[in-house]
Amino acid sequence: MPGVVRRLPEYLMIWVPLLLSAAHLISFSLWTIWISFTPSTLVPVSGWVGLRNYNSVMASRNWQIAFDNLLLFGSAFVLLSLVTGLMLAILLDQRIRGENVLRSIFLYPLAVSFVVTGTVWSWLLNPGIGIEKLVHDLGWTSFHFDWLVNRDMAIWTIVIAAIWQSSGFAMALFLAGLRSVDADIIKAAQIDGAGPIRTYWRVILPTLWPITITVVVVQLQFAISAFDLVRALTNGGPGTASEMPAKFVMDNLGFRQNIGLATSASTVMLITVICVVSPWLYRTYFSDQARRA
């Protein structure tokens, strides 16, 4: 009991903010779900319309485009940022000269907001003022890099900017994992005649599986909730070619003043996030407890 009394300030410092944050998150999530079943438009109102708002979301052409874009963007972004972060981590793991400088450069995009990232990349990819104009001014007039205004390629501009923004996060986690691999295991593989590539593929990378799952889950959550980057870079255009679910929600919430439709779409996004996170939570916590039991 005296030990509990001594540690009471520590418990209060940790658990009080945690419980308040959990209560805030749960209460507003439940409120959002409730509003999605009401006829709310400009302001929340009482009433019950069942699944009418959800049916409207699923029947919306913009939502269908946004969800298709999410599948493309999420798959390409997660895979490419994962590979890029791993390659950068392997590069830095070689104890190269200037490692601290390179690590800072690779991590720098994390310090930049998504709005700034989207704005800068919109300048770079704008055919009139960006990379295409620079190359034309150098004399290569046949060069074209107009993805920002190309309906078929606009979504890939978001992928490029998102990879630039988030690869440093993946690199930091993978580098920490690489530095924690037991040196004896690597030496044993080298004694058995394994070369560098085989050592990484057969020995080192399998030990990074938990880190890989963590990176995938975090990046998927970002992909599902991406709004600032899309708004600043393409604003969902050209037309609705790069529309995303988060932008669909904000457009209906702020511009079209349809709270019921916006909360329905956000609830669908919440369910998607839960589906993404649940397997990771089960594997990380509950399966380990079951094995120990």
pLDDT for 195: 77
Which segments of the chain have a pLDDT < 70? 1-6, 8, 285-293
pLDDT for 3: 57
pLDDT for 162: 94
Each as own residue / partner, the long-range contacts of residues 152-157 (CB below 8 Å, 24 or more positions apart, any chain) are: 152/241, 154/234, 154/237, 154/238, 154/241, 154/242, 155/69, 155/72, 155/73, 155/241, 155/242, 156/76, 157/121, 157/125, 157/233, 157/234, 157/242
pLDDT for 173: 93
pLDDT in tens, 43-64: 888 889 999 999 999 999 999 9
pLDDT for 54: 95
Spatial CA neighbour of 223 closest among 285, 155, 122, 149: 155
Q: Are the C-beta atoms of residues 216 and 277 closer than 8 Å to each other?
A: no
pLDDT for 287: 60
Q: Are the C-beta atoms of residues 163 and 83 closer than 8 Å to each other?
A: no
Question: Based on C-alpha coordinates, what's the Rg of the chain?
Answer: 24
Q: What is the 8-class DSSP label of residue 95?
A: -
pLDDT for 119: 93
Residue appearing with tokens 């830095």: 92
Rounded distance, CA 229 to CA 118, Å?
5
